[in-house]
Structure 1
Amino acid sequence: MNTLKKIALIGQPNVGKSSLFNRLSNKRIAIVSDIAGTTRDVRKNEIEILDRSALLLDTGGIDETNDAIFSNVKRKAISTAKDADIVLFLVDGKNIPDDKDKELFYELQRLGKELALVVNKIDNDKELERLWEFFEFGIDEQNLFGISVSHNRGTKSLIEWVYNHLPENPETVAKLQEEQRRKELEDEFGYIDDEDDFSTETLENIEDEKIVDDSLVNVAIIGRVNVGKSSILNALLGEERSVVSDVAGTTIDPVDEMYEYKDKKITFVDTAGLRRRGSIEGIEKFALMRTKEMLERANVALVVLDASRELTDLDEKIAGLVDEYGLGTIIVLNKWDENMDTFQKIEEEIRRRFRFLSYAPIIAVSAKTGRSIERLKDKIIEIFENYTQRIPTSQLNKVIEEAVIRHSLPSPNGAYLRIYYSTQFSSRPPRVALVMNKPQLLHYSYKRYLVNFLREQFNFEGTPIHIIARGKNDKMGDEEYLER
């Protein structure tokens, strides 16, 4: 497999890097705002331009200030440029070239990369005349582009330039050739030559669950501001990926980072810190919305708590989001080295407040010292396997029968309840259907009993279990998928 070429977007704050990142990615990933310095970390996204692919890197805005955050951002941005094959240096076309831009551009030139100077915010033909002022950078004409991302002007030429600096992707070429072949067959003969010809009857008998790759794990890192989410991510990855600062809310955009561990491809989503709703303003409204988007596509969530501080109602609300999305869950107590209380005391408090996450393991770590980080990695894999496991129907029926023998089904108002059979009809999280004579009369307390009994028989640590009662002729609808 060929390694993808890397394209780095570099420039001062508020020159339009995130907007260009979204344009090249063909989807909205980075938060876009007029507030300078919105992007602080490095985001990555694989892009395709016709038959060629690349890894696009969006860096934090470089700003020559004494602020510790931006100092870290500049260092990370330059480091990203060194690691890239192609560098797009963005400047603001509304302003005249300044010495700061030139100094940064010359520093990038010395790296010896394929380098383009991209002058953004050239919104009309009159403003295009200012493009000539940027030739004082010493850039060749074929490497200078005047564009307006917001007005979609000039981006075609830039994309063509990038395309010409990328190698062909054999897999994409083959895919395009196959699509062309299928289109020609359809145009000429009115059909596509699929080998499999399923009848409608056969399709109705196939379980309605997508086949997914069980080697791919999406992990969302969630918690209120300044609990150390970025520090934990860096510790898990073994490198400084996120900008870390004592300033609350340093992470604004969620940032994806993937690495392989024990035959799994783990993608970490470093979500923005959450504050009380009354204090969420401007950018953080986007961040809260994006956090929920990340939870929608996550499998496992790390609920990060600050062991050096008392738990708050906000911690409970944030943890409630994870329960709402039905994810595999690990409660991570960070900054354990700063706490003098016993683990048992804090564990009791967490269990009291987070009763809805009673299935979630609690791991005390220190991102600073690396304590229990390896254990946390192993636990992520274990919880994901629990989250995706399927119990054979024969084994499940045997366990349910045993549970009913130990604790008989209730008889509400004298009604006789009977379970004909049970089956796990989906995973992520595990969902079990009880096929019964009177499903509407099964009380939630008995479902809870069955869930606890299943946990005694199988390793479902860290994952919710949903039990749905249904009649023999009932179809599994969306509302049942959502039932607790």
Structure 2
Amino acid sequence: MSRPIVAIVGRPNVGKSTLFNSLAGEKISIVKDYPGVTRDRIYADVTWLNYQFTMIDTGGIEMDTKDIMLSHMRQQAEIAIETADVIMFLVDVKQGLVDADFKVADMLRKSHKPVVLVVNKVDNFEKYMPDVYEFYNLGIGDPYPISASSKIGLGDMLDEVTSHFNKSLATEEEDERPRIAIVGKPNAGKSSIINKLLGEERVIVSDIAGTTRDAIDTAVKWNGKEYVFIDTAGLRRKSRIKEELERYSIVRTVAAVEKADLVLLVIDATEGVTEQDAKIAGIAHERGKGIIICVNKWDLIEKDNKTVAKYTDEIRRILSFMPYAQIMFISAKTGQRLPKVFETIETVIQYQNLRIATGVLNEIVTEAVAMQQPPSDKGKRLKIFYVTQVSVKPPTFVIFVNDKELMHFSYTRYLENRIRDAFGFTGTSLRFITRERKEK
């Protein structure tokens, strides 16, 4: 089940990042041990009661001139609107209601997405309530007063945000077709791959503002089975600001990856793996998706009998955190190996949904423990009682041990490798959760 996406939208300086950080708490260091994973965090996982969602901060840069600032905000809001399931519209009680707020409100109204109006910097309810009521004038419903910095009022606001989840996700749940996100840098050839897979030059890119994300989902039939491709290429707007564009394409990528079962990361063979590719790969890995790396434009590369090995080593080196990912060398232009893409997708989907009986799993783990002793510390040795698989997509295992502190990252990785040797799990990440049990 994909997590709902909640975007925070609003003018610069209304406290979007403060709210983002308050909600995301301390858990946000986006997995530190992957190179190239974003330092400026723009998305985080938030848990509220029994809901989990992905929150996106649309940031906001203060511009000197009014019109650039507005066009910039508009751009951000559009991206947030097209990717989000629920939008938090943040305004500032101390600045009061300003003209730009009305403009944003109009855009949000046209989106027909649920909007929660949040009035920030209300650090004294008594004093500011009359000013909060002002915001009813925006015509988008009840204002929720909060103080992001003091963390006041967040509960009521989150209750309102999460109340919209089931409605927007109910429609998605019935769709059983595998969903595949095609991600990668601009110009790596994502759209050409989809066009080629469709077997017709069908341009999915439509540059009309407000193109919704549904417009870029394309159903493709292969061997009588339907797949839905989610293309992140379709929505690149001309922006004067190069880095901002990168930032936004990451927002889109997060949204696409979130909604997908499997990710095709398209890399341009003429450029090799770039830092942005590593970021995108990190997002997919972190989200536990199936991953296939497609090295496109392979027809343009001069080859000898070592070329494939050389490219493969380089990809494995840079994306060392996902050794399980499948690598394919393709050409969207000539159609080289494209039929193989579907076979690989099928294989990865099967592994993502593979369940292993507890008995069989424990035989493998017992054998692994016999071959390499678990770590010990100050005379106390790690004991593994048993392992069981608790879910699929991605396959997730709980390891019951005598002392969680003794379970080193490296030993978990060793067990993962033994499990992969035994069962394959090609193309999908595995999750391991360590739980302590007192010895009887």
Partner residue, 2:390 = 425
Tell me how far 1:417 sits from its aligned partner: 2.2
Partner residue, 1:225 = 186
Tell me how far 1:151 sits from its aligned partner: 11
Computing the radius of gyration from Cα coordinates, the structure with the larger value is: 1
Tell me how far 1:356 sits from its aligned partner: 1.1
Check if 1:393 corresponds to 2:393.
no
- Greater relative contact order (CA < 8 Å, ≥ 6 in sequence): 2
How far apart in 1 are the matches of 2:427 and 2:417? 13
What are the superposed Cα offsets for residues 135-173 of structure 1, whole Å, 9 maximum, x if unpaired? xxxxxxxxxxxxxx8499xxxxxxxxxxxxxxxxxxxxx
Check if 1:472 corresponds to 2:437.
yes
Partner residue, 1:145 = none
What are the superposed Cα offsets for residues 402-438 of structure 1, whole Å, 9 maximum, x if unpaired? 1111112122221132222110011111111111221
Tell me how far 1:285 sits from its aligned partner: 5.6
Check if 1:255 corresponds to 2:216.
yes
SS of residue paired to 2:270: coil
Tell me how far 1:279 sits from its aligned partner: 1.1
State the one-letter code of the partner of 2:371.
R
State the one-letter code of the partner of 2:316.
R
Partner residue, 1:165 = none
How far apart in 2 are the matches of 1:281 and 1:412? 48
Partner residue, 1:168 = none
How far apart in 1 are the matches of 2:320 and 2:333? 29
Out of 368, 379, 394, which is 2:333 matched to? 368
State the one-letter code of the partner of 1:240.
E
* Contact persistence 2:205–2:233 (CA under 8 A): no
Partner residue, 2:320 = 355
* TM-score normalised over the length of structure 2: 0.55
How far apart in 2 are the matches of 1:465 and 1:320? 14
Tell me how far 1:237 sits from its aligned partner: 2.1
Out of 404, 415, 439, which is 1:450 matched to? 415
How far apart in 1 are the matches of 2:327 and 2:229? 19
* Contact persistence 2:348–2:426 (CA under 8 A): yes
| Cα 1:439/1:285, change in 2 over 3 Å | closer
Equivalence map 1:95-110=2 (5 Å): none
Partner residue, 2:11 = none
Partner residue, 1:101 = none
How far apart in 2 are the matches of 1:215 and 1:395? 29
Tell me how far 1:218 sits from its aligned partner: 1.1
Partner residue, 2:289 = 327
How far apart in 2 are the matches of 1:396 and 1:262? 33
The gaps in structure 1 that reach 5 residues or longer are 1-31, 44-148, 153-211, 474-484
Tell me how far 1:323 sits from its aligned partner: 1.6
| Cα 1:287/1:235, change in 2 over 3 Å | same
Check if 1:238 corresponds to 2:199.
yes
Partner residue, 1:414 = 379
* Contact persistence 1:431–1:467 (CA under 8 A): yes
Partner residue, 2:232 = 271
Out of 441, 446, 459, which is 2:406 matched to? 441
State the one-letter code of the partner of 2:255.
E
* TM-score normalised over the length of structure 1: 0.50
Partner residue, 1:312 = 274
Equivalence map 1:194-233=2 (5 Å): 216-233=177-194
Check if 1:336 corresponds to 2:298.
yes
RMSD: 3.7
Check if 1:463 corresponds to 2:434.
no
* Contact persistence 1:215–1:265 (CA under 8 A): no
| Cα 1:438/1:277, change in 2 over 3 Å | farther
Which runs of at least 4 in structure 1 moved beyond 4 Å after TM superposition? 32-35, 149-152, 212-215, 251-254, 273-278, 284-287
The gaps in structure 2 that reach 5 residues or longer are 1-70, 83-108, 113-172
* Contact persistence 1:215–1:263 (CA under 8 A): no
State the one-letter code of the partner of 1:235.
K
* Contact persistence 1:218–1:297 (CA under 8 A): yes
SS of residue paired to 1:356: coil
